[in-house]
A and B are shown apart, each in its own frame.
Chain A
């Protein structure tokens, strides 16, 4: 069964550093998403991406965040200057036609900011 692949599975970074979280969506999917889950809290929507542009973003997705599809396979989330409160599990998801019921999630990247 096709999978969404996220790398790395765990990343530790120092406060103020830039991090890039990587995702390889399912190959025929056209819509891409990032969600995050701070430990003990809800999974929260960050951003959706279609046709090389952001289609929707949440209040969490401020200027320190950016997304990119640098080539035909990767979808990245960049955090420019990490803060302690960015420590969370970050999930990538993709869907073929943008249907909210058609998501496939990756296994997540645990980001720890120290």
Chain B
């Protein structure tokens, strides 16, 4: 069965500092991995996805993530934090019994990112 663990429920960085949000996964099949962001009172917005192509994935708003099979990790990074990055971030892995690209999403508990001026 698939699962996701996000280390740290709350991460605080200074504006301009590196953002690193950690995600480890478990999957019995080749994983599809995702990072979603949720701003206050908004829905879940896809930041980036890994679907078995390039291991370094670039997303929106300057975020990127690297798939490391040996470490079962998919950590999210951004070189320089901006105040507007303050939000909750969710890592997810494809779950369900579908083959191909279908299935559902199994989410981690989320990491709330705070950015200090």
Q: Residues on A close to B: CB < 8 A?
A: 4, 9, 33, 35, 41-45, 48, 56, 58, 91, 93, 98-101, 103, 105-108
With CB as the reference atom, state the residue of chain A lying closest to B102.
A98
Q: How far is the CA of A35 from the CA of B97 in the complex (A)?
A: 17
Q: Closest approach, in angstroms, between the C-beta of B45 and any C-beta of chain A?
A: 7
Which residues on the A side are within 8 Å of B98 (C-beta)? 56, 98, 100
Contact B43 A106 (CB under 8 A): yes
Contact A100 B32 (CB under 8 A): yes
Contact A107 B43 (CB under 8 A): yes
**Counting chain B CB atoms within 10 Å of each CB, which of A9, A43, A91, A103 scores highest?**
A43
B104 in complex: contacting residue of A4, A45, A105, CB < 8 Å: A45
Contact B101 A103 (CB under 8 A): no
B32 in complex: contacting residue of A43, A98, A101, A106, CB < 8 Å: A101
Q: Contact flags (1/0) for B42-85 with A, using CB distance below 8 Å?
A: 11111001010000000000000000000000000000000000
Q: Which 3 A-B pairs have the closest CB atoms?
A: A43-B107, A105-B44, A107-B43
Known: A48-B104, A98-B102. A105 touches B32 (CB 8 A): no
With CB as the reference atom, state the residue of chain B lying closest to A3.
B43
**Counting chain A CB atoms within 10 Å of each CB, which of B43, B45, B106, B109 scores highest?**
B43
Q: Closest approach, in angstroms, between the C-beta of B87 and any C-beta of chain A?
A: 13
Which residues on the B side are within 8 Å of A105 (C-beta)? 36, 43-45
Contact A100 B109 (CB under 8 A): no
**Counting chain B CB atoms within 10 Å of each CB, which of A4, A35, A44, A103 scores highest?**
A103
A-B contact pairs, 7 of them (CB 8 A): A42-B109, A43-B105, A43-B110, A44-B107, A100-B105, A101-B49, A103-B46
Contact A100 B44 (CB under 8 A): no
B34 within 8 A of A: yes
Contact A103 B43 (CB under 8 A): no
Contact A101 B109 (CB under 8 A): no
Q: How far is the CA of A4 from the CA of B104 in the complex (A)?
A: 17
Contact A99 B101 (CB under 8 A): yes
